[in-house]
Structure 1
Amino acid sequence: MKKNYFFLIVYLVLMGSVTAQDNAKPLTVEANEFTTVTLFFPTVIEQVIPPASNYKFEFDQGNTIGTLKARKGTPSNMTVITTDGSIFSIVLNYSQKLEKYTHIINANQAVGAMNSGSSATPPEPENTTIVQANPKPNAPPESVAPVASNIDPRETIKTPPTDMNVSPDVFEGFSNQPNTDPELYSDSENDLYNLDREEYYSIFCENNYLQKSILKRSFRQNKKIIVRLNNILVDREEIYFMLSLENTSKKDYNVNGLSFFIKESHRDNNPSILEPVHTFNLQKIIDPESNNEIVYVFKKFPLQTNQIVEIVLDEIDSSRMVILPLDYKYLNLLSK
C-alpha cells in the first residue's frame, strides 16, 4: 500500500493524570481453587480492574488486604489502585502447586501513580467492571445505579450467521464479552474514561487482548502470513477489534501498516479509510513462527447491508499482503 495515514504507532501510555515508574515490573501471583492466596498492599485498596472470570479477587472496604482464588484456565491480569493513587499491575497464573501463599507488596512495586492532587477515584467503565469491595460491618453499602450496556455479559454466541464472505463459524461455548464481571456502574466526573482516555483504552486492551478466538475460520492467509480476527468487543462509544497476526514462515515479517477500510462492495476502488482512536501491541517486526496479538480501537461506526470492512496487513517492500474481508452481518453479530 502506498499510503498509510494512521499506522505510525505511537504508544501513549500513562499520560495526563498517570505517571509511570520505569523500574517497576508487573507482579506475578499463582493461585488455585484449593488454597486462598493473600495479598497485602502498602495502602488501602481503592479499586480493582478485575481479571478473567476464572480468577476471583476479594477485599474489604477500607482494608489493605485482598484474597485470591482461581479455577483452571488461561493466565490473566488485574490492576489494583490504592487510595494514595498507586497503580499495581499483577499477572495471574493458575497452578495446582503453590510455592507462595502470602504476598507482601511494597510501595516501590507500583507501576505508576495517579497525579491528581486529591485521591481521585478512577472510574468504573460500563463494560469493564471494577471489583466492588465488601462493605464494612454496620455500614450501608454505597448505592450505585446500573447503566445500559451494548453487550449482554451472559450472552453466548452459539449459532454462526449464514451467507458470509469469511465463513465465521463460532466456537460453541465462547462469548463475545470482555474479561469483566457482569455488574455495571454509572459514570462519574472522576471516571478514568473521562480523565485519561488513552490510559482507559490501554487498560481495557491489556485485560482483553489475550482472549481465545471465539471464531473458527475468521482469517485470511498469504504466503504463510495469517490475519485472524479473534473477537469484536463494544465498550461505551468504542468498538475493539481483537486480532492475531501470525508469521508461520521462516523469515521476519516487516510490518508496513495495518489498515481498515469500508467498501461498498469487493470491487470498490474508492474505499473509505477508518482511523483508530487507539492501537495496542502492534510490533514493527513479527519474528518467524510467532504471533502478534493486537487490538485496534475505533469510535462506533454504522455499516450498511451492502458494505464490507476490509482489514489489510501490508509488508515493507514485499508482496506478502493479507486482506481479511468482513461483511455487515458478521460485524452486527459480534458487536451487539
Structure 2
Amino acid sequence: MNKYIITLLFALICSTLNAQQQLDTIYANEHKNVALFFPKPIRQGITGASHFVFTYNREKEQYFGLLQAQPGTDSNLLTVTNDGRIYSYILRYRRNLPKLNYFVGDMESIGNEMRKTIKEKPGILPISEERKRVSFFEKFSKYLLKLKSENLKTKRKKGLKLRLQKMVYQGDEVYLVLEFSNNSGIDFEIDYLNIYRVNGNKRRKSSYQKLLQKVVYEHELLGMIKNKDSNRFVFVLPKFVLGDNERLEIELQELKGNRKVVLKFN
C-alpha cells in the first residue's frame, strides 16, 4: 500500500513539473486589443519581438495590460508583477482570435525574482529613476502646450478634426502635440488613440507593415470631448525617425459608435 502511495505521489510531481515547463500560447493581431489580467499589478512587461506590442500603465501600477501583434514569427512575453512573480507565455499571430481576455492565476507563475533590499536613510524617501523620468515628461509636456500651436497635418471628418501640431525630439523620446476638436453635434467618447508606423502600400501586402507604437506617457488626453469643445494633449513615444517610405498614422476611435478619424503624416 505504501509503495502504491509513493508511486502515485511521484507521478503527480513529475506531471506538475512537466506542466510548468510547457508555456501557454496567447494569440493576438493588429485589429483588436487582447487583455491580460494578472493577480497583482504589473511592474514590468517585455516582448521578444517588435511585431508584438504589450502596453501597460507605467505611471500607476495596474492589474492588466494590452497586447497587439503584426504578422510574423512566434515570440514570447515576460511579465513581472509587483510582488516579484514572473509569468512567461508564447505569443502567436492569428487573424481570428480564440479569445480577447486572459485571466492569469497565481499558479501560472514560473518563479519569483530575487530582489535586493536597499536600506533607506531615515526620514528620506528615495525617488526612483522612473519617477524622475515621468516628472520630466510631465513638465516638458506642459511647456509644449504653452507654446504657440502649429499645424503639421490636419484630418477632418464630419465635424471632427484631428490635428498634429508639433513633433518634438527630446532625449530618447519624441513628443507629439495633438488637438482634437468636436463640432459634429454629438459628444465623442474615446475608445482608443493608437499611433502606428506604416511602411509600404496596403494594396501590396508583401511589402506592407503597420506597427503599433508604444506610448510611454500621455498628458491631458480627455476621455470625452463634448460637442463644440476641443482638447490639446501630448503623447510621448520612444524616439524614432520616419524613413523615406514610412508614414505615421494616428487612429482615433469612438467608444460607443462607429466614428473613426485617421490622420496620416509623412
CA RMSD of aligned residues (A): 3.3
Q: Is the 8 A contact 1:258 1:313 kept in 2?
A: yes
Letter in 2 for 1:274: Q
Aligned pair 1:312/2:251, yes or no?
yes
Letter in 2 for 1:263: V
Q: How many Å separate the matches in 1 of 2:238 and 2:148?
A: 24
Q: How many Å separate the matches in 1 of 2:194 and 2:188?
A: 16
Percent identical among aligned pairs is 22
Aligned length: 156
- Please state how far the C-alpha of 1:193 moved relative to its aligned partner: 6.5
C-alpha distance after superposition, 1:91-131 (max 9, x if no partner): xxxxxxxxxxxxxxxxxxxxxxxx995699xxxxxxxxxxx
Q: How many Å separate the matches in 2 of 1:318 and 1:222?
A: 14
Q: 4+ residue runs of structure 1 moved beyond 3 angstroms?
A: 4-13, 115-120, 192-195
Q: Give unmatched runs, 5+ long, in structure 1.
A: 16-114, 121-189, 328-336
SS state of the match for residue 149, structure 2?
coil
- Report the counterpart of residue 157 of structure 2 in structure 1: 222
Map residues 64-103 of structure 1 onto 2, 5 A cutoff: none
Per residue, is there more helix in 1 or in 2? 2
Q: Which structure is larger by alpha-carbon Rg, 1 or 2?
A: 2
Partner of residue 199 from structure 2, selected from 264, 272, 275: 264
- Please state how far the C-alpha of 1:318 moved relative to its aligned partner: 2.4
C-alpha distance after superposition, 1:251-282 (max 9, x if no partner): 11010111111111352664111011101111
Q: How many Å separate the matches in 2 of 1:295 and 1:271?
A: 22
Q: Give unmatched runs, 5+ long, in structure 2.
A: 1-29, 35-52, 62-120
- Report the counterpart of residue 219 of structure 2 in structure 1: 280
Q: How many Å separate the matches in 1 of 2:199 and 2:145?
A: 29
Relative to structure 1, the CA distance from residue 229 to residue 116 in structure 2 (aligned partners, 3 Å threshold; closer, same or farther) is farther
Q: How many Å separate the matches in 1 of 2:237 and 2:223?
A: 21
Map residues 73-222 of structure 1 onto 2, 5 A cutoff: 196-215=132-151, 218-222=153-157
Q: Is the 8 A contact 1:259 1:311 kept in 2?
A: yes
SS state of the match for residue 318, structure 1?
coil
- Please state how far the C-alpha of 1:321 moved relative to its aligned partner: 0.8
SS state of the match for residue 204, structure 1?
helix
- Report the counterpart of residue 252 of structure 1 in structure 2: 187
- Please state how far the C-alpha of 1:11 moved relative to its aligned partner: 8.8
- Report the counterpart of residue 260 of structure 2 in structure 1: 321
Letter in 1 for 2:184: S
Letter in 2 for 1:231: K
- Report the counterpart of residue 59 of structure 2 in structure 1: 12
TM-score (norm 2): 0.51
TM-score (norm 1): 0.41
- Report the counterpart of residue 93 of structure 1 in structure 2: none
Relative to structure 1, the CA distance from residue 116 to residue 273 in structure 2 (aligned partners, 3 Å threshold; closer, same or farther) is farther
